[in-house]
Amino acid sequence: CTSTSCPDICTHSSPCDMNNSQANCSQCEPITLELCMNLPYNYTNYPNYLGHRTQKEASISWESSLFPALVQTNCYKYLMFFACTILVPKCNPQTNQRIPPCRALCEQSKERCESILGIVGLQWPEDTDCSQFPEENLDNHICLTPDEDVEECSPSHFKCRSGRCVLASRRCDGQADCEDDSDEENCGCKERGLWECPSSKLCIKHAMICDGFPDCPGGMDETNCSFCRKDEITCANHDCVPRKCWCDGQIDCADKSDEWNCVSMSENKSSLMFLMVHRSAIKYHVCADEWEENLSYLACKQMGLGGPPVTEMVPEYKQPHHEKWMNLQSEWERKNTSTLQALLVTGLPCRSRSMVSLLCTKEDCGRRPAARMSKR
């Protein structure tokens, strides 16, 4: 109960009462257990036949490690099918009841594979007493038997030519894991239905290209994803927005990336750090006219830094090769906005001929109080 929620229909009773059988309130749920995603059914019902109350519990159980390891010995073609029928039992959507494996499937699995476990000193799972499962099949309505063509390996596994299943991440890793080396054959990304990262052998799924998350080294899967015009800039999600919209205080990219990193500090020259704003992707100094201390706080906060800041107004002659200016717009105090860039405009003269220079402090972190001394 500390890690899972109970279905709504059970909220009238104490959800953590162990005497309150969850079997009475469980419903069909989609299979999420990675091992068993290739079954001829998609819905399961808990608790399962090994006593696990949730799929999460099943996924980290001893049995969910044991069965796939055992499959690799090739002891029984339908072992993984059997394992999944007890780890994620099929759910009948009409009755919300579990459909168990047939007794013959259980007996065959145990008969062929139990002895192999014995060799390495392990025991067949105690909860799999085959007599609890029905003998009668009746077209897979009462109990389950596998079809001829059932897949032995889970989707996260690769099936060796020999029939053994090995973890998919071990395929093409330069080391043979199948006894026939078949996991190291046809290792091109294309042959595996994947995309090869430029300048590296890494393969990624096609859905990961241009999705806004870099997956290849150097983020190569996120390059050349958009073709913006000259007067446009590319958002992080590869949309195009007009250049003039960049850092104007209004959100234009769907992912809001046009308003990220709009405030920064210039490089440290002669120990002065000038406040910079990146309107239309051009860097501007900020004119000191009408500047107030609370604006320094805002600028530091936007850069992820703390306060209290030290503000200096630096005359223009001290920074001869300065960038362009941005000024506070008139009546900026009345503007309801949360970013500094929204308060600034270009094209006005800077009467004070001074630029804003800031020193922000980094918020303190990671310190533990010193241990108290006690006389012994």
Partner 1 sequence: ILGGRTSRPGRWPWQCSLQSEPSGHICGCVLIAKRWVLTVAHCFEGRENPAVWKVVFGINNLDHPSVFMQTRMVKTIILHPRYNRAVVDYDISIVELNADINETSYVRPVCLPSREQRVEPDTYCYITGWGHMGNKMPFKLQEGEVRIISLEHCQAYFDMKTITTRMLCAGYESGTVDSCMGDSGGPLVCEQPAGRWTLFGLTSWGSVCFSKVLGPGVYSNVSHFIEWIERQIYIHTFLL
Q: Give the residue from 131, 181, 29, 135 showing the smallest Cα distance to 90.
A: 29
Applying CB under 8 A, the residues found at the interface with partner 1 are 1-5, 14-16, 32-35, 37, 56, 59-62, 64-65, 68-69, 156, 167-169, 213, 251, 256, 259-260, 301-302, 304, 338-339, 363-369, 371
Contact 179, 136 (CB under 8 A): no
Per-residue DSSP letters for 202-271?
Answer: -EE-GGGTTSSS--SGGGGGGSS-----TTEEE-TTS-EEEGGGTTSSS--STT-GGGSS-EEE---BTT
What CA–CA distance (Å, rounded) separates 172 from 121?
Answer: 32
Nearer to partner 1 by Cβ, of 198 and 214: the residue is 214
Decide whether 34 or 292 has the Cβ nearer to partner 1.
34
The 3-state DSSP class for residue 165 equals strand
Nearer to partner 1, 14 or 162 (CB): 14
- The distance of closest approach from Cβ of residue 205 to partner 1 in the complex, given in angstroms and rounded to an integer, is 12
Task: Enumerate the H helices of the chain as residue ranges.
Answer: 55-59, 62-71, 79-87, 103-119, 293-302
Query: Smallest gap, in angstroms, from Cβ of residue 192 to partner 1?
Result: 15
Of 96, 63, 62, 102, nearest to 82 by C-alpha is 102
Nearer of residues 120 and 138 to partner 1, judged by Cβ: 120
Q: How far is the CB of 15 from partner 1 (least distance, A)?
A: 8
Q: How far is the CB of 290 from partner 1 (least distance, A)?
A: 22
C-alpha 219/C-alpha 222 separation (Å) is 6
CB of 256 to partner 1, least distance (A): 5
If the CB atoms of residues 32 and 145 are measured against partner 1, the closer one turns out to be 32
Nearer to partner 1, 196 or 215 (CB): 215
Helices and strands, number each (H, E), in the chain: 5, 17
Could you tell me if 20 and 13 are in contact, meaning their C-beta atoms sit under 8 angstroms apart?
yes
- Rounded least distance, CB 260 to partner 1, Å: 6
